[in-house]
Chain A
Amino acid sequence: MSFMPVILWTDALIFVLMVGVLALVWFIRRHEHLRAPWRVVAQRPMAMGAALVLGAFVVIGLLDSLHYRERLADSPADAPQYSVEVLSVFDALVSGLRTRQEKTYSAPLAMQLYAKEFLERDGETVRDYPRLQYGGAHLKHADEHASDIARRTLVGLTQGLAVGLLLFGLLAAWQARRTQTQLGAWLEVWTTGRLGWPGRTVVLVLTLMLLLAGMLIQLASGYHVFGTDKVGQDVLYISLKSIRTGLVIGTLTTLVTLPLAIGFGIAAGYFRGWVDDVIQYVYTVLNSIPGVLLIAAAVLIVQVYIESHPEIFDTAAARADVRLLALCLIMGVTSWTGLARLLRGESLKLRTLDYVEAARAFGVSHVRIISRHIFPNVFHLVLIAIVLDFSGLVLAEAVLSYVGVGVDPSMYSWGNMINGARLELAREPVVWWQLGAAFAFMFALVLAANLFADGVRDAFDPRLGGRR
């Protein structure tokens, strides 16, 4: 084998999570009352558009979670040795971005480095901006720069549009067949937006994403679209790699939160009495400690542990990964209290409802009452909390990394990008692209998540849905 698969802790958990989500989808599809609110979500243009964007992020994140180590070229076949560098399928797909490393900063789409060096030119030594090793290296003259960029943009857009139209055509043909209408008739319905699902928005967002992708692919093959960072690495590559970190923090933290919040919240509300007292005590104590400080304290401890046990980790990636996992755990442990309090209040209300009384009149056991009457009726709150928390966690990562208690400094993350670039703001002229790229990517993900969360909340919140 020319490579050895590596399964990091977070990879494993991500795949467990994927299996869980798929199981949930299968379960929901079989239950009409669970499916109904999702259908409402699917009818909201804003939510569907956001879901598509989220989907693109998730695909990148998943590809980036399939890790492997390459076999060293000169190692013997019977006793293969593998590189210490852990790569992912995503790295392989965009290997060009990863390997085309410059010396130091360069501006987006630039041909020259951002720092002057002594160069040999026409036999003389001059101090000037040197040409980049890769960015725009295919150009002979600097004056071709603008036209080349324009040409590549145009080609990229055209390709994106072509793919978009192709997909749209396939979609239209499929839908027309499915609904047994003429293609023209379907298109007419599509233009009026009366499909029963937001067809126009989906097609529009998809086309926009394809246009963007086409443009990026064309430009990135010849330039550093977002410039390079201090050590000359492509900022686009770093930004894309950071997606996985953001997603992991946003989802795995919730995975830690959920059992605690659901278990304690429902138990406190349902059993009341001393159980309630104890749980309330625990969460008041946890809540009273300022969150950042608790996280900071715990992360420092993990750091001490990692540093005193270097032998456990065979690669730097594994080390960084454990720290990421620890961060998720810690954030989960500190952030379950809000949802728990909500679920406690709701369980308090539900336990007095007549259908719970009716179950008690049959002598139904507590476990069954909780699993059949309480939990299904608070599940929508859990779901809303998951989607609402996600964006908050992604934003929190940046702040924590800035404070110095976030992910490992060697890990690609938007927080680390911001932290690294912040000091360069004082430079003249400003190195803005690293910050800009990090904020732009983070904004896109968080905005999509927030818009999607809005749709989910509107569809699931019974206060807006009337009595059911």
Chain B
Amino acid sequence: MKPLLEVRDLVTGFGSTRVVDGVSFRIAAGETYALLGESGCGKSMTALSLMRLLPDGGRVVSGGVQLGEIDVLALPERDMRRVRGGQMAMIFQEPMLALNPVIKVGAQIGEALSLHRGLAGQAARDAARALLDAVGVPDASRRLDSYPFELSGGLRQRVMIAMALAGEPRLLIADEPTTALDVTIQAQVLDVLRRLKAERQMGMLLITHDLGVVAENADRVGVMYAGELVEEGARDAFFASPQHPYSRMLFEALPRPGDSGRLTTIPGQVPPLDGTLVGCRFAPRCPHAVARCRSESPDWQAMGGQRVRCHLAGTLPAGQERAVTAQTTALAAQPLLQVEGLKVHFPIRRGLIQRTVGHVRAVDGVSLDIQAGRTLALVGESGCGKTTVGKALLRLIEPTAGNIVLGGESITARNAPSLRRQAQMVFQDPYSSLNPRMRVADILLEGMDALRVGNAPQRRDAVAQLLRQVGLPDDAGGRYPHAFSGGQRQRIAIARALAVSPRLVICDEPTSALDVSVQAQILNLLKDLQNDLGLAYLFITHNLAVVEYLAHEVAVMYLGRIVERGAAADVLRAPRHPYTQALVSAVPRIEPHAGEGIIRLAGDQPSPLNPPDGCHFHPRCPHASAVCRQSYPGQTDLHNGHRVRCHWVAEQEFSARSMN
């Protein structure tokens, strides 16, 4: 069968830098082809080359792109415009930025409709409404007159999809379409994409870094590394036995449920693409590399349904199972941190004299405790208040109410210095968390200076010690943050937190800005530090895979409150709260989902400004009953410290107990 899209030896360059270097692949109608790889490996540039939408300075150097009968690269710009949106359309990563903020949604879709289908006026409006219906936007006719900022992230991405579909394209390119979305919303959007592809027999090019998303959506997979395609094959074959060492290491770097051993990391970094590259591009980071790999670029080798660019293809040992070390369940000692009824309310001021008319209840009565040397993961989707909890604990945001006891000492504004010696924070974005104008040594010294830890020579020694501890070279202290990669920066940030020898470290999504292989390094480091120093972590994250790997206990937050907490294994493997169930179920997994069906939540998380009455979750809950609409559920204690706040669970438990 003739493929829908055929890309031959595509080379795209910026000046002398070849960001895409000889990429070839085919996509058939009705097929999803996933381009997989870490950031900076050329996935997006490949897609933009197909659309001929490269940023200023970039150009397709050579190669061919054949879309059906059309030779895309040979078209004059005028005809290319008919192809864009009409024959192939593209969805971008950040739906907030990708939609024009000052044009109504209906008009933005209408533009594509008039361009490719010649529709105008009422016909265009009807067509736009039909499209919004098709992508599952509720109340579509009203939404046509909304501006993008009035929509939630999930709805914006649906609008984006509707817009892409307006020209009835044959090929849809989705560039990380769900990376910016929460996991339950991601599941909704991926469902829409799958359904539409099947209905319209479109070809789809799915660009992602998430193996789980690939596993659940792709028919075929191509792995990119440093501008080249290094492996390609059908999904099932690829997931059964990835052949390229890079693909294998991507799998092994992924934290998976059940094991808690060390993760495989990929040493080094993607090579810069501006020089002349000799040999296999992955060789410098490959544990199996032989002399030939460094001198000769490997050619494609067919391996059954797969093909791979590796000299050693087929001869590599099969991926070994990781050692599974059981979670050490330390006995419950005196908790290091105890939080009771923590509240953070932000006043909303309105009107002539800026009267306080209400409160955003960002955190609304959170209680938790952490034992020394243990990790509590605080899980929830964006906007649930989990970061606010972390900052309120450190009094970076002044809590409205609540009691914090750290190391047996009640923390008030007065004994803040004692708090700051004992608890520190690691932030999400390693780029904004390090001052670009300070040397690394000064960054590490800052905390010790401020809290007067030791004398000057001791502090200097401590800096050297810290750098070794987090695995940075000795000369790192004299350099500035921009000399380091994202992963190294996060190491510096961790070292900074450790500088005052805290007992508790609050990690706010410390790996979510990092690639999988780098994430593995940081997770390993955190684990080592916990073992060596007996640190306790409050690990704030939305990534459940990381939670399963790292955490001893889990607390799940929804709209400012903790809805379920308990031992990590209990909460994640046998979640009881319908929200936790949906959350766990929505995570795309490499392994096929066993047993229970997939739970899809409807709608979005409501605003904490105006939370629903009763149980906050009831509007989205499949099990909601009358009582859920009226009263917020009390706590139901299950076994082993597993606690849930849900009327439905309480009822189940009650009937189970009364039966016994």
Contact = CB atoms under 8 A, between A and B. Distances in A.
Question: CB atoms of A and B under 8 A apart anywhere in the complex?
Answer: yes
Interface of A: 32-33, 353-355, 357-365, 368, 372-373, 376-377, 467-468
7 contacts: A354-B429, A357-B391, A358-B425, A358-B497, A362-B424, A363-B450, A468-B436
A372 B438 contact: yes
A358 B496 contact: yes
A29 to B, nearest CB: 15
Interface in B418-456: 420, 424-425, 427-429, 431-438, 442, 446-447, 449-451
B195 interface: no
Given A362-B446, A364-B446, A373-B438, 5 more contacts: A353-B432, A361-B420, A361-B424, A362-B451, A362-B500
Given A364-B446, A376-B437, A357 B396 contact: yes
| Most B Cβ at <10 Å: residue of A360, A361, A373 | A361
Interface string B451-471: 100000000000000000000
Contacts of B322: none
A354 B433 contact: yes
Interface of B: 391, 394, 396, 416-417, 420, 424-425, 427-429, 431-438, 442, 446-447, 449-451, 480, 482, 493, 496-497, 500
Main secondary structure of the interface of A (DSSP, over half): helix
Contacts of B427: 354, 357-358
Contact of A33 (B417, B437, B451): B437
A203 B437 CA distance: 35
- Which 3 residue pairs spanning A and B have beta carbons closest together? A354-B433, A376-B437, A354-B427
Given A354-B429, A358-B496, A362-B446, A377 B436 contact: yes
A292 to B, nearest CB: 36
Contacts of B497: 358
A17 B185 CA distance: 59
A406 B641 CA distance: 80
B432 A361 contact: no
Contacts of A360: 396
Contacts of B480: 32-33
Contacts of A376: 435, 437-438
A362 B500 CA distance: 9
A444 B202 CA distance: 63
A467 B417 CA distance: 34
B537 to A, nearest CB: 15
Contacts, number: 68
A354 B432 contact: yes
Contacts of A33: 436-437, 480, 482
Nearest to B499: A362
B436 A361 contact: no
Given A32-B480, A354-B427, A377 B420 contact: no
A161 to B, nearest CB: 38
A465 B429 CA distance: 19
A354 B436 CA distance: 12
| Most B Cβ at <10 Å: residue of A362, A363, A368, A467 | A362
A339 to B, nearest CB: 19
A354 B429 CA distance: 8
B396 A359 contact: no
A363 B432 contact: no
A237 B67 CA distance: 73
Contacts of A373: 435, 438
A370 to B, nearest CB: 12
B444 to A, nearest CB: 11
A468 B417 CA distance: 32
Contacts of A468: 436, 482
B391 A362 contact: no
A377 B435 CA distance: 8
Contact of A363 (B417, B431, B436, B437): B417
| Most A Cβ at <10 Å: residue of B429, B438, B500 | B438
Given A363-B416, A364-B450, A468-B482, A358 B436 contact: no
B437 A361 contact: no
Nearest to A32: B480
A345 to B, nearest CB: 17
B396 A361 contact: yes
Nearest to A360: B396
B394 to A, nearest CB: 5
A270 to B, nearest CB: 15
Given A33-B436, A468-B436, A368 B450 contact: yes
A364 B448 CA distance: 10
A100 B424 CA distance: 76
B450 A362 contact: yes
Contacts of A362: 420, 424, 446-447, 450-451, 500
A361 B420 CA distance: 6
A354 B424 contact: no
A357 B393 CA distance: 13
Given A357-B396, A362-B500, A372 B425 contact: no
Contacts of B394: 361
A21 B143 CA distance: 59
Given A33-B437, A362-B451, A363-B450, A357 B482 contact: no
A194 to B, nearest CB: 15
Contact of A355 (B417, B434, B482, B500): B434
Contacts of B417: 363
B272 to A, nearest CB: 15
Nearest to B434: A355
Contacts of B432: 353-355
Contact of A365 (B435, B436, B450, B496): B450
A355 B440 CA distance: 12
A298 B394 CA distance: 51
B420 to A, nearest CB: 5
B65 to A, nearest CB: 29
A354 B428 contact: yes
Contacts of B500: 362
A357 B425 contact: yes
A289 to B, nearest CB: 28
A363 B482 contact: no
Given A33-B480, A354-B427, A357-B427, A363 B435 contact: no
Contacts of B435: 355, 372-373, 376-377
A363 B396 contact: no
Contacts of A365: 450
Contacts of B437: 33, 376-377
A382 to B, nearest CB: 13
Nearest to A353: B432
Nearest to B478: A32
A365 B446 CA distance: 11
A361 B425 contact: yes
Contacts of B396: 357, 360-361
A354 B434 CA distance: 7
Nearest to B420: A363
| Most B Cβ at <10 Å: residue of A357, A372, A467 | A357
A368 B427 CA distance: 21
A56 B428 CA distance: 50
Contacts of A358: 425, 427, 433, 493, 496-497
A373 B416 CA distance: 21
Nearest to B435: A355
A361 B396 CA distance: 7
